[in-house]
Amino acid sequence: MDYIALGLICEELEAVDSTLRVVMSVHMGLNSLGLLQWGTEEQKQRFLIPQGRGEKVGCFGLTEAGAGSDVAAILSTARRQGSEYLLNGEKMWISLATKAHHCLWVARTNPQAADPHDGLSAFLVEMDRPGITAGDLHGKLGMRAGSTGWIAAQDVRIPEENRIGEEGEGFKIAMSCLDNGRYTVAAGATGLIRACLEASVRYAHERNAFGREIGKFQLVQQKISTMVQSYDAARLLYLRAGWMKNQGTRNTRETSLAKWFATDASFQAASEAVQIHGAYGYSDEYDVERYLRNSKGAVIYEGTSEIHQLMQAGYALGYREDASLRCELPAYEPEAWQS
Ligand SMILES: Cc1cc2nc3c(=O)[nH]c(=O)nc-3n(C[C@H](O)[C@H](O)[C@H](O)COP(=O)(O)OP(=O)(O)OC[C@H]3O[C@@H](n4cnc5c(N)ncnc54)[C@H](O)[C@@H]3O)c2cc1C
């Protein structure tokens, strides 16, 4: 299937459950498409093919306790020792940490690099390697059905064949993985807006106040019309990004815009959906309270809204250009993908 199909699947999944969509975002968006773009033939055979068959699951390890938006602050290290690397450090807030078979781990290989971004490299780290431990984080606001956790590495031996791309390409690889992950988040958040809209329309017909159904009140209509507007706009933004991906065209700006808009709009839509449901919306009797809790996560992960605002301003003002991250994008090729 192509990128548009991936988006539509994510939209449909999140219209029902955000956690299921997160599995697609992490396993497909951040990990598998990264492997498709950057993996060697041998890595594709070893990791990507079983992932495509659904036999193995991949996760994405970028964030650390002190490095979220600021990727250059990554402290985990992969020190070269002959044909191996010795991996040490800890990843935090990793989706599927305790479920995945391997982690696409971004670590520092050159602490002396003048620009810290250039000192990062990416590795495929099997979760059953000696020295790897992982656990789930508890007490999350939303996404409670899913695993979000930590992964620690203590003197873990990683063969050179598990490095993706060249040494020093870790930042570029991570950012291109995010281009795909963010696309799936944008599509998913669009599905969440639709779920809020459908729940709100249903309830606006059911609930009566002052002798009429609440859908007749213009202030309720205003909330519903904003959801309609957000849904169509979010959908068109992610479909544009998906179309560009199919062509193999650089889409960092368009994907960032789609992700920022859809996630902010889904949080807003969920908040208004709770409002339309009144006190019942404030309880778990209706799904909208779950929509509200889940929608907040997407405003934070895969680039906070603030980071996307900075990116968009950077493009508009001419401070940002993607040439420094130039890379071959995996355009949709039906025959190659099917084989
Ligand atoms: C449910 C969930 C799942 C996740 N899954 C993964 C995963 O699978 N893999 C992974 O690697 N990570 C994952 N993350 C981590 C996520 O990507 C980070 O939380 C996110 O990048 C933000 O980093 P941070 O939490 O450290 O916040 P910080 O970077 O510390 O930011 C804190 C606040 O400061 C603001 N801020 C930071 N820098 C700037 C700036 N320059 N200008 C303006 N404001 C700024 C931010 O926008 C934010 O509001 C997940 C997080 C969550 C909540």
Residue in this structure with the two tokens 């955000």, named with its chain if needed: 18
How is residue 235 annotated by DSSP? H
CATH architecture of 172-338: Up-down Bundle (1.20)
| pLDDT tens sequence across 26-66 | 999 999 999 999 999 999 999 999 999 999 999 999 999 99
Atom of ligand 1 nearest to the CA of 302: 17
Rounded Cα–Cα distance for residues 337 and 36 (Å): 10
Both tokens of 10, joined, read 């994510």
Protein residue closest via CA to atom 6 of ligand 1: 94
Identify the residues whose C-beta falls under 6 Å from ligand 1.
Answer: 26, 59-63, 68-70, 93-95, 143, 148, 297, 300-302, 304, 306-307, 310
| Domain limits, the chain | 172-338
Rounded to whole angstroms, the Cα distance separating 41 from 50 reads 13
| Ligand 1 centroid distance, CA of 302 (Å) | 7
The beta strands (E) that lie in 82-215 are given as: 84-95, 102-108, 120-126, 132-136, 148-159, 163-164, 208-209, 212-213
Q: Which tokens go with 243?
A: 């179309």
**Phi-psi map region of 192: left, alpha, beta (phi>0 left; psi -120 to 50 alpha):** alpha
Of the pLDDT bands very low, low, confident and very high (cuts 50, 70, 90), residue 320 is confident
Residue 302 annotated in active site: yes
CA–CA separation, 337 and 339 (whole Å) = 5
Q: What is the dihedral of CA 60, 61, 64, 67, to 10 degrees?
A: -70
As a whole number of Å, the end-to-end CA separation of the chain is 12
Does the model's pTM come out above 0.95? yes
Q: Which atom of ligand 1 is nearest to the CA of 67?
A: 26
Model confidence pLDDT, tens digit, residues 227-275: 999 999 999 999 999 999 999 999 999 999 999 999 999 999 999 999 9
Which of 302, 306, 328, 333 is catalytic? The answer is 302
- Please state, in angstroms and rounded to a whole number, the distance separating the CA atoms of residues 113 and 72: 11
Per residue in 167-192, pLDDT (tens digit) is 999 999 999 999 999 999 999 999 99
Ligand 1 atom with the shortest distance to the CA of 140: 1
Q: Give strand pairing partners of 209.
A: 212
The predicted structure's pLDDT at residue 326: 59
Distance CA(61)–CA(3), nearest Å, equals 23
